[in-house]
Structure 1
Amino acid sequence: MTVPAADGVALAGTLTLPADPGPHPAVLCLPGSGKVDRDSNAGRVRMDLGRPLAATLAGRGIASFRYDRRGVGATPGDWHAVGFLDNRADAEAALHALRGHPEIRPSAVGVLGHSEGAVHAMWLAAHARPAAAVFLAGYARSGEQALRWQGTRLADTLPRPIRPLLPILRPFAARQVTRLAATTTDTARIGGMRINARWWREQLTYDPRPDLARIPVPVLAITGAEDVQVDPGDLDVIAQLVPGGAETHQTPGLTHILRRTDGPASVFSYRRLLRDPVDDELLDTIARWLATRIR
């Protein structure tokens, strides 16, 4: 399935339908940040979230749509020049297209996002009135505050031989963020690398809390207790801000990449953890919750 963005760019994706005849309830699935495709894969870093999530939802009678980001997979464009707000606008366009599909029941379309996608799902839940919303590892503070928390948490998980370098690494990282915030172009060279500067500027300044406070639909928010990229404590903020309350789960052992770990949380374990599939219990929890809210 290909859907038109607001500026006419064709967002290429996959519409997964249940075996039973439609029209079906459906969910728009939004990936995390980075140069990711419809299955949340970025090159050799393969989250492989899209297919098992779609299959689990279809097993509960729920259709789903997921798509390649601009400049990734079958969607044209320059990924480096795409902003955070562009990603949000594309998500809104995809939601509109999904509601208009003949196999989909327009009044029964929800949104689900992971990481950056969860933050866009918060905005959609407040402004586009989906039937329900699921936030996986979504933060509830400004992007800059979320980045600073992440930096501190990641520093705590560094191997011991590297920790003596922290007094040098921290000021260096702070300078790079300051340089990014001061840019005015879509892309910039930072540390010799081409960076999607506009995405960074927009992400650092956006704060989802005002949108959380105006969400009128049911919300499920899940963050792993072993997430080192998003503060699991933000679940409490989400529950407090959503007017009707939100069902929240801080899942023991679950990491940001939606796999469980038996050891200390660390991004250095991601390569090993990604050999396993996305946590089955997580997928089942999501599908069961959605099946009772978007019928």
Structure 2
Amino acid sequence: MKIRNLLLVFSLLVTSLLCAQEESEVELNTETGTLKGSLVIPEAEAKFPVVLIIPGSGPTDRNGNNPMMSNNSLQMLAKGLAEQGIASLRIDKRGIAASGSAVSKEEDLRFETYIDDVVGWAMKLRNDPRFSELIIAGHSEGSLIGMIASERVKAEKFISLAGTGRPAADILREQLSSQPPGVTLMTNPILDSLEMGRTVDNVNPMLNALFRPSVQPYLISWFKYDPAEEIAKLDCPVLILQGTTDIQVQVEDAEFMAAVNPNFRKEILEGMNHVLKEAPADRMENLKTYNDPTLPLKEGLLNILVSFIHQNK
């Protein structure tokens, strides 16, 4: 019995050592302000890969949360990777959370600004001697930002997590189509104008959350990118990961991106939603998971990510 107890204690000790990790705040200084993020380092003697995690659209922070929801999905992702010997850097985008002061005026922000910021973060990681390779992983809108940055810095691997495979204006049209007809009668002409690079002066106040004048230059800069075209430029290993109960991005989006290169790896997780959690297809029940930080990541997600990161090593 004593020997068995000693073996159990030893096993728990080994597991603890393997899962040991250190998290620290890191900064990236830019001409217009300081950006901040969390670097998670596993305890290891040798070099290890590092994943740069880019959050999705809107005021989503480094942990996958925003003022209206808290699910800690990206924080859980970083912790899970560290337990498998993989470092990660998850960032607050310019203008969001701890990087909030790096934007003085919303009307000055462009999609290219986010790309440049990710390139800056990537080069910071590239120059760190602790890391063996650089992987960029973008969630939702962060997928498009990440794939463009990956091409610029020649990342060793790229991961798309619930990323759209069509231009953003098409996605917005699809999402708005579920609204009453009167809404789409107002929004479609605005989207048409922004796609042509023209701002709209008279926006109904009820649409300000999406189309306020100060955000329109950003939307114009975002709408001109087609994810399927951008991901086709990558010649590194690519993983495209999508869930079947995602109510924001469709499985077809993953298929659009995967179709451009037969060497891209596509994984569809049954029952995973947009915040990378197990969720039913029912919209209201699905949305409840967006605000449940105790719910773990979808089972099998981390295994797929770790397998991809460690391939060809």
Report TM bin, short chain.
0.7 to 0.9
**Corresponding residue number in structure 1 for 2:286:** 269
Q: Displacement of 1:222 after TM fit?
A: 0.9
**Corresponding residue number in structure 2 for 1:253:** 271
Is structure 2 residue 125 aligned with structure 1 residue 98?
A: yes
Is structure 2 residue 61 aligned with structure 1 residue 44?
A: no
Q: Displacement of 1:211 after TM fit?
A: 2.2
Q: Displacement of 1:188 after TM fit?
A: 7.9
Question: Using a 3 Å threshold, how does the CA distance of structure 1 residues 267 and 203 change in structure 2: closer, same or farther?
Answer: farther
Q: Displacement of 1:66 after TM fit?
A: 1.2
Bigger Rg, structure 1 or 2? 2
Kept after mapping to 2: 8 A contact 1:25/1:109: yes
Higher relative contact order (CA 8 A, sep 6+): 1
Q: Displacement of 1:184 after TM fit?
A: 6.5
Counterpart code for 2:204: G
Gaps in structure 2 of 5+ consecutive residues: 1-25
Question: Using a 3 Å threshold, how does the CA distance of structure 1 residues 31 and 246 change in structure 2: closer, same or farther?
Answer: same
Question: Using a 3 Å threshold, how does the CA distance of structure 1 residues 114 and 188 change in structure 2: closer, same or farther?
Answer: farther
**Corresponding residue number in structure 2 for 1:171:** 185
**Corresponding residue number in structure 2 for 1:292:** 311
Q: Displacement of 1:144 after TM fit?
A: 1.7
Structure 1 range deviating more: 129-138 or 142-151: 142-151
What SS class does the counterpart of residue 301 from structure 2 fall into?
helix
**Corresponding residue number in structure 1 for 2:48:** 24
Q: Displacement of 1:77 after TM fit?
A: 2.6
The two structures have a TM-score, normalised by structure 2, of 0.79
Which of 26, 33, 40 is residue 57 of structure 2 equivalent to? 33
Kept after mapping to 2: 8 A contact 1:149/1:231: no
Counterpart code for 1:134: I
Question: Using a 3 Å threshold, how does the CA distance of structure 1 residues 114 and 201 change in structure 2: closer, same or farther?
Answer: same
Q: How far apart are the structure 2 equivalents of 1:35 and 1:190?
A: 22
1:178-233 deviation per Cα after TM superposition (whole angstroms, max 9, x unaligned): 46557768x98843334522221111221122222221111111111122222211
What SS class does the counterpart of residue 278 from structure 1 fall into?
coil
Q: How far apart are the structure 1 equivalents of 2:193 and 2:176?
A: 17
Kept after mapping to 1: 8 A contact 2:245/2:280: no
1:83-141 deviation per Cα after TM superposition (whole angstroms, max 9, x unaligned): 21111111111101111124323xx1110010111111221233321111110111222
What SS class does the counterpart of residue 94 from structure 2 fall into?
coil
Which of 259, 284, 288 is residue 240 of structure 1 equivalent to? 259
Q: Displacement of 1:149 after TM fit?
A: 2.9
Query: Which structure shows the bigger proportion of residues in helix conformation?
Result: 2
Q: How far apart are the structure 1 equivalents of 2:32 and 2:189?
A: 37
Structure 1 range deviating more: 81-90 or 214-223: 81-90
Q: How far apart are the structure 1 equivalents of 2:46 and 2:198?
A: 47
**Identity across matched positions, percent:** 25
Which of 224, 227, 242 is residue 205 of structure 1 equivalent to? 224
Kept after mapping to 1: 8 A contact 2:35/2:102: no
Kept after mapping to 1: 8 A contact 2:195/2:224: no
The 5 A counterparts of 1:105-144 are: 105=132, 108-144=133-169
Q: How far apart are the structure 2 equivalents of 1:224 and 1:198?
A: 31
Question: Using a 3 Å threshold, how does the CA distance of structure 1 residues 182 and 216 change in structure 2: closer, same or farther?
Answer: closer
Q: How far apart are the structure 1 equivalents of 2:271 and 2:290?
A: 12
Q: Displacement of 1:258 after TM fit?
A: 1.5
The two structures have a TM-score, normalised by structure 1, of 0.84
Kept after mapping to 2: 8 A contact 1:57/1:287: yes
Kept after mapping to 1: 8 A contact 2:227/2:257: no
1:139-177 deviation per Cα after TM superposition (whole angstroms, max 9, x unaligned): 22222222223334xx1xxxxxxxxx7221221222443
Counterpart code for 1:95: A
How many pairs are equivalent?
277
RMSD between superposed Cα atoms in Å: 2.6
**Corresponding residue number in structure 1 for 2:6:** none
What SS class does the counterpart of residue 217 from structure 1 fall into?
coil
Counterpart code for 1:232: V
Is structure 2 residue 101 aligned with structure 1 residue 84?
A: no
Q: How far apart are the structure 2 equivalents of 1:4 and 1:130?
A: 21
Q: Displacement of 1:61 after TM fit?
A: 1.2
